[in-house]
């Protein structure tokens, strides 16, 4: 379970998060929507302790992230897969080494056969050929890099996965494959996840609940059907704009 209680964060004079409350239950997929620049990435980073909130509590698996000691934090992070918005692949290593570093279990990491099999398996899950393993990140397209980032995040069989826009920049077919992967991880392994996304329609299909972050707060939250009908003004504005765009044929 991931619990975010009253979390605030400011950068200089800019208030980014202003009392965010959010609970993601065990085995639940939460989609996090919100306009660009509202602090969705900041919130995800706060969950794994890459950004320390100014106020509030973040509790993952009954552990307070903001006050965890080094070793305990590393242990906790090993159970959380994080998909970075821009991939954040290690560019001095090939794809195989990248995915291998995602094997957070030391024994698995040390076992070259297991590492290879697992890397190939994860690449298949994100619809990439096994021969991608030998490529360097610079030789990949943006969408491929993003998918390798996803493969790296899930390689260690994490209990939690935080996706920062996993489908942005992907073609519709690959977007659907990633959406299906999110669902499959949840169904087969009981993974709990938060998925930041701009793909409103995709999130309606994959998420159990949807939350909207604007103005530093979660302004609406609920299952897709409820969320769609939410009377909250920000939700209406957000959805209408999205469907407007879709009407103009410029969706996503």
Partner 1 sequence: MSSLVEWAMFRAGRSVLDPLAAVGRFADLMVEMGRGLVEVKIWFPRTMEEAWSIGVGSLFIVLMISSFTGGVTALQAGYQFTGNIPIYVVGSLVTESVVLELGPVLVALILAGRIGARYAAELGTMRVTEQIDALESLGRSPASHLLIPRVLACLLMIPVLVVIADFVAVGTGWVIAKSTLGISNQDFAYGARVYWHPLDGWYSIIKGFFFAAAIGLISCYRGYTTQQGAEGVGRSVTGAVVTTSVLVLLLDVILAKLILKP
Ligand X SMILES: Nc1ncnc2c1ncn2[C@@H]1O[C@H](COP(=O)(O)OP(=O)(O)OP(=O)(O)O)[C@@H](O)[C@H]1O
Q: Interface residues with partner 1 (CB under 8 A)?
A: 45, 48, 50, 70, 73-78, 80, 82, 84, 86, 88-92, 101-102, 104, 152, 156
Site of tokens 């979390």: 7
Of the pair 9, 45, the CB lying nearest partner 1 is at 45
Provide the greatest CA pair distance for the chain: 54
Instruction: Give yes or no for residue 167 binding Mg ion (CB under 5 A).
Output: no
Strands 217-222 and 63-64, bridge-based pairing:
unpaired
Could you say which of partner 1, ligand X, Mg ion, none residue 11 binds, taking C-beta under 5 to 8 angstroms by partner kind? ligand X
* Element housing 94 (H / E): none
Smallest distance, Å, CB 48 to partner 1?
5
Other beta carbons less than 10 A from residue 127's beta carbon: 18
How many beta carbons lie within 10 A of that of residue 83, not counting itself? 25
Q: Which does 219 bind (CB under 5 to 8 A by kind): partner 1, Mg ion, ligand X, none?
A: none
Strand partners, 142: none
Which of Mg ion, partner 1, ligand X, none does residue 39 bind to, with CB < 5 to 8 Å depending on kind? ligand X
Q: If we measure between CA atoms, which residue out of 175, 201, 181, 202 comes closest to residue 193? A: 181
CB distance 120 to 132 below 8 Å: no
Q: Are 15 and 194 in contact (CB under 8 A)?
A: no
Taking the least distance from each CB to ligand X, the nearer of 84 and 227 is 84
Q: Does 41 bind Mg ion (CB under 5 A)?
A: yes
Distances (CA, A) of 123 to 128, 133, 205, 208: 5, 8, 23, 26
The nearer residue to ligand X, 37 or 130, going by C-beta atoms, is: 37
Contact partner, 88, from partner 1, Mg ion, ligand X, none, Cβ < 5-8 Å per class: partner 1
Per-residue binding string, ligand X, 17-46, x by CB under 6 A, is: -----------------x-xxxxxxx----
Instruction: List interacting residues with ligand X (CB under 6 A).
Output: 11, 16, 34, 36-42, 85
């Amino acid at each position: 379970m991931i619990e975010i209680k009253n979390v605030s964060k400011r950068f200089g004079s800019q208030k980014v998060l202003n009392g965010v409350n959010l609970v993601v239950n065990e085995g639940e997929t939460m989609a996090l929507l919100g306009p660009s620049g509202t602090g969705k990435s900041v919130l995800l980073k706060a969950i794994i302790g890459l950004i320390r909130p100014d106020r509030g509590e973040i509790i993952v698996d009954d552990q307070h992230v903001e006050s965890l000691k080094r070793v305990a934090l590393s242990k906790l992070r090993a159970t959380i897969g994080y998909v970075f918005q821009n991939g954040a692949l290690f560019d001095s290593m090939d794809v195989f080494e990248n995915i291998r570093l995602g094997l957070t279990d030391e024994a698995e990491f040390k076992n070259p056969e297991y590492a290879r099999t697992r890397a190939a398996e994860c690449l298949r899950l994100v619809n990439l050929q096994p021969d991608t393993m030998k490529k360097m990140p610079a030789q990949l397209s943006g969408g491929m890099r993003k998918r390798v980032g996803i493969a790296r995040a899930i390689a260690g069989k994490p209990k939690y996965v935080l996706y920062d826009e996993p489908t942005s920049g992907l073609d519709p077919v690959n977007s659907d494959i990633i959406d299906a992967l999110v669902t499959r991880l949840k169904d087969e392994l009981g993974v709990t996840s938060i998925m930041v996304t701009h793909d409103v329609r995709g999130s309606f299909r994959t998420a159990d609940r949807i939350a909207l972050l604007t103005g530093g707060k979660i302004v609406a939250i609920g299952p897709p059907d409820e969320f769609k009908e939410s009377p909250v003004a920000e939700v209406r504005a957000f959805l209408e704009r999205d469907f407007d765009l879709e009407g103009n044929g410029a969706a996503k």
